[in-house]
Amino acid sequence: KYVGRPIPRFEDDAILSGRAQYVDDIELPGMLYAGFVRSPYAHAKVLRVDLTDVARQRGVVAVFGPREMGFAPGGKVRYQGEAVAMVVASDRYLLYDTLEKAVVEYEPLPAVLDVFEALKPGAPLVDEGLGTNVAHETVYEGGDVEKAMKEAEVMLEGRFTIQRIIPAAMEPRGVVASYDGDVLTVWSSTQVPFDIRKEVAKALDLPLTKVRVIQPFVGSAFGSKLLVYPEEIWVSKAAYLLKRPVKWIATRSEDFKATTHGRALTLEYKVGATRDGRVLAIEGVVYADAGAYYWGEGLADTAARMLPGPYDIRHGRIKAVSVLTNKTPLSAYRGAGRPEATLFIERIMDRLADELGLDRVEVRRRNLIRQLPYTNVFGMTYDTGDYLETFERGLERLGYRQLRSWAEEEFKKGRLIGVGLSVYVEITTFGYETAILRAERDGTFTLYTALTPHGQGVATALAQVVADELEVSIESVKVVWGDTALVPDGIGTMGSRSITAGGSAAILAARRLKDELAKATEKLLGCKPEYSSGEFKCGGKSASVRDVVKAVYRREAEAQLTVEAIYHADATYPFGVHVAVVEVDPETGFVKPLLYKSYDDVGFVVNPLLAAGQAMGGALQGIGQALYEEAIYDEAGNLVTANLAFYYVPTAAESPKYEVYFAERPHPSRHLTGTKGIGEAATIASTPAVVSAVEDALRRIKPGVRIEKTPVTPEDVWH
């Protein structure tokens, strides 16, 4: 059995040795380089784009303005960094010089940068055609809020903002496109090759078969590469028109402005509870600072629907509102709506505990859902789990009580240490996924997946799953991903769905292949065989998989040696409890994360090494959200934090010590793998745990202090 074992990623050799091919490693003969002229204004009419001077520059092969490519729709730009022109040159260095020669005349317009300003009557409109800055609005409702609020003995009211952040994948976005006169091939640093194929085919009016999209190695994405971006279309179009390969690689600052941002939600809430700490009702509004274009991200909606979290809250009404502003468009970032919901509800739980003089653990214990499956007040059905039991075992395993008394002891010695706690339930997996499995002539197997891993090590996990199902050695299973020419369709790696949706598809394919091989064996041996460990046996005779496959290729028997499976994987909900320990330096205001411990019930764990890696990396991103990262704009709409000198992504130096545990009594999902996703869980749980820890520390010197925003900066610690 390979499932359940900490097998190192077989992807690592290529990555660590520098042989893995990323999009910028692709060099083709006659390659041209594309660059974009981007708006310095957050909001402006584009009066004139004159590229005649650019076109005359040495090395420039083609220029494209708004008319050719549809830049600046409606004759205006809506955020700093929006493209207004594209230049294609024969040399990358000449290219950047020539971009500066573009003449663009703007008429600056007042920019609106704050959600609440944008909602005021008379606010500048980001999209005049819409007639309002509200791009999307839905009310989620259940139970009887009015009645429950009347019964409530305690009322809390407040507002909490989780800041806008920049996904900052190590590898910026980039595209290469090449047209050979028949097929247009596009390589992109993406999570969604199948979507790109669809959109490029549509834009160029080509059949799907004439567009091939390849996802090379991708240096992370964190959800920021799950949209089809305009650059992917523009670069494809340029390559198609010019009949030469074209490459575009974003610079870091360009990537910070032209790749979607995340989070940026505000909750206004009213909570009604009993005096003994039971939450009866929650009511409020979640606002998303959606940026300049609403690309249907639905973040406020997910946050609203997941707001009750793992707690049994029977009455609720939350309005989700996405508001346009003159900033980079908002979209998914690791967790996409669930980190926000979890931070909000966990802050509320902490506050309720404090108001009632209850222990933070006790408040949670009293509100946790008792019986699964459970449909929350907004219609989300949590599938499996035993929250109370997992919570108690988790606290025990993480040594929460001991950590608290240790912090107490250290305080007597002059150290300011805080211990924070968070509990979460989150939603993972959706849609279908495709797997194709082929038995090769030499007795090995190739799995083609439509998943698009970009750091998770999914290929290794898929090999484990397939090797177990076929009862063969893992060395005989090769996994191939990231090419629309090899799999007909699929969705990709996102929403912590890969091992659950794609792994289940792989198991389904393996079962079908075994059936096919059994059919062929029956022909060969003349009896119905049993299969075990790579051997078919019946009536005292036996044949190895390899023999059977060979016989089929020689046409002595008949079977499909390539099978396809499509698996539909509904949502499944992991649950967990996390603990963060921080040290606060009241002099400098710096917060040092010391220790991060997680205890997750993600169903069966396929590869504990990979899953633990996800928990650690995920936690560090949530720590960044809690303490360091923020996309800051000035009043004019300039992105101030436009490079890594001003935008603080946590590094190994800020990393705490991690301890990762998985529930010893997991509650599997109903999918073939029995897994639930782990890819986002720690990002979801860590921000509230860290904020709670900082507050816990600060209370020792400032009783009653309450943290109501992220990030918690040194300035916040002082004040």
What is the binding site for ligand MCN (CB under 6 A)? 220-223, 334, 454-458, 461, 493-500, 602-607, 610-611, 614, 617, 675-680
- For the CB of residue 105, give the shortest distance to ligand MCN in the complex, in Å: 39
Could you tell me the sign of the dihedral formed by the alpha carbons of 300, 305, 311, 314, in that order? Answer: positive
35, 81, 223, 576: residue in contact with Mo ion (rule CB under 5 A): 223
Alpha-helix residue ranges (DSSP H) falling in 413-544: 458-470, 503-525
In this complex, which beta carbon is closest to Mo ion, that of residue 223 or of residue 502?
223
In this complex, which beta carbon is closest to Mo ion, that of residue 337 or of residue 674?
337
Contact between 81 and Mo ion per CB under 5 A:
no
Give strand pairing partners of 48.
Answer: 105
- For the CB of residue 494, give the shortest distance to Mo ion in the complex, in Å: 5
- For the CB of residue 297, give the shortest distance to Mo ion in the complex, in Å: 12
Structure tokens at 138: 């839905």
In this complex, which beta carbon is closest to Mo ion, that of residue 189 or of residue 390?
189
User: Going by DSSP bridges, is the β-strand pair 315-324/279-291 parallel, antiparallel, or unpaired?
Assistant: parallel
Residue 38: closest CA among 4, 3, 85:
85
| Binding residues for Mo ion restricted to 490-509, rule: CB under 5 A | 494
In this complex, which beta carbon is closest to Mo ion, that of residue 417 or of residue 427?
427
| Cβ(348)–Cβ(156) below 8 Å | yes
Tokens 């925003």 appear where?
Answer: 709
| Cβ(691)–Cβ(697) below 8 Å | no
- For the CB of residue 574, give the shortest distance to ligand MCN in the complex, in Å: 8
Give strand pairing partners of 137.
Answer: 321
- C-alpha 127/C-alpha 161 separation (Å) is 24
The 428-447 contact track toward Mo ion, x by CB under 5 A, reads: --------------------
| Cβ(35)–Cβ(254) below 8 Å | no
In this complex, which beta carbon is closest to ligand MCN, that of residue 353 or of residue 499?
499
Angle at 449 between CA 445 and CA 455, to 5 degrees: 110
Q: Residue of minimal CB distance from ligand MCN?
A: 455
- C-alpha 671/C-alpha 503 separation (Å) is 9
- For the CB of residue 223, give the shortest distance to Mo ion in the complex, in Å: 3
- C-alpha 548/C-alpha 501 separation (Å) is 30
- For the CB of residue 433, give the shortest distance to ligand MCN in the complex, in Å: 10
In this complex, which beta carbon is closest to ligand MCN, that of residue 3 or of residue 697?
3
In this complex, which beta carbon is closest to ligand MCN, that of residue 288 or of residue 336?
336
In this complex, which beta carbon is closest to ligand MCN, that of residue 291 or of residue 495?
495
Which partner in ligand MCN, Mo ion, none is near 624 (CB below 5 to 8 A by kind)?
none
Residue 160: closest CA among 323, 353, 343:
343
In this complex, which beta carbon is closest to ligand MCN, that of residue 419 or of residue 569?
569
- Count of residues that interact with Mo ion, criterion CB under 5 A: 2
- For the CB of residue 689, give the shortest distance to ligand MCN in the complex, in Å: 18
Q: Could you list the beta-strand ranges (E) of 381-431.
A: 381-382, 417-425
User: Cβ neighbours of residue 220 under 8 Å, at least 6 residues apart?
Assistant: 169, 170, 171, 454, 455
Alpha-helix residue ranges (DSSP H) falling in 100-227: 115-118, 145-151, 193-204
In this complex, which beta carbon is closest to ligand MCN, that of residue 234 or of residue 647?
647
DSSP state for residue 498 in the 8-state scheme: I
- C-alpha 363/C-alpha 356 separation (Å) is 9
In this complex, which beta carbon is closest to Mo ion, that of residue 247 or of residue 338?
338
Window of 251-259, 489-497, 567-575, 709-717 that interacts with Mo ion by CB under 5 A: 489-497
- C-alpha 630/C-alpha 621 separation (Å) is 12
| Cβ(479)–Cβ(456) below 8 Å | no
- For the CB of residue 271, give the shortest distance to Mo ion in the complex, in Å: 29
DSSP state for residue 447 in the 8-state scheme: E
- For the CB of residue 207, give the shortest distance to Mo ion in the complex, in Å: 31
- For the CB of residue 380, give the shortest distance to ligand MCN in the complex, in Å: 18
- For the CB of residue 495, give the shortest distance to Mo ion in the complex, in Å: 6
Angle at 134 between CA 130 and CA 137, to 5 degrees: 120
Structure tokens at 365: 């214990």
- For the CB of residue 464, give the shortest distance to Mo ion in the complex, in Å: 22
Window of 39-47, 222-230, 388-396, 668-676 that interacts with Mo ion by CB under 5 A: 222-230
| Cβ(360)–Cβ(350) below 8 Å | yes
Residue 44: C-alpha distances to residues 12, 35, 40, 526 (Å): 46, 21, 9, 78
Q: What count of Cα atoms within 13 Å lies in the side-chain half-sphere of residue 45?
A: 5
The letter for the amino acid at 691 is V
C-alpha radius of gyration, the chain, whole number:
27
| Binding residues for Mo ion restricted to 582-611, rule: CB under 5 A | none
Which partner in ligand MCN, Mo ion, none is near 607 (CB below 5 to 8 A by kind)?
ligand MCN
In this complex, which beta carbon is closest to ligand MCN, that of residue 326 or of residue 452?
452
- For the CB of residue 603, give the shortest distance to ligand MCN in the complex, in Å: 5
Give strand pairing partners of 428.
Answer: 572
Alpha-helix residue ranges (DSSP H) falling in 24-106: 52-55, 66-69, 92-99
- For the CB of residue 301, give the shortest distance to Mo ion in the complex, in Å: 16
- C-alpha 193/C-alpha 188 separation (Å) is 8
In this complex, which beta carbon is closest to ligand MCN, that of residue 283 or of residue 680?
680
| Cβ(238)–Cβ(125) below 8 Å | no
Q: Could you list the beta-strand ranges (E) of 341-498.
A: 374-375, 381-382, 417-425, 432-439, 445-449, 477-481
- For the CB of residue 474, give the shortest distance to ligand MCN in the complex, in Å: 14
Which partner in ligand MCN, Mo ion, none is near 499 (CB below 5 to 8 A by kind)?
ligand MCN
- For the CB of residue 500, give the shortest distance to ligand MCN in the complex, in Å: 6
Tally the residues of the chain: 719
Strands ordered across the beta sheet of 657-662: 417-425, 575-584, 591-601, 657-662
Give strand pairing partners of 581.
Answer: 419, 595
Can you give the binding site for Mo ion, defined by CB under 5 A?
Answer: 223, 494
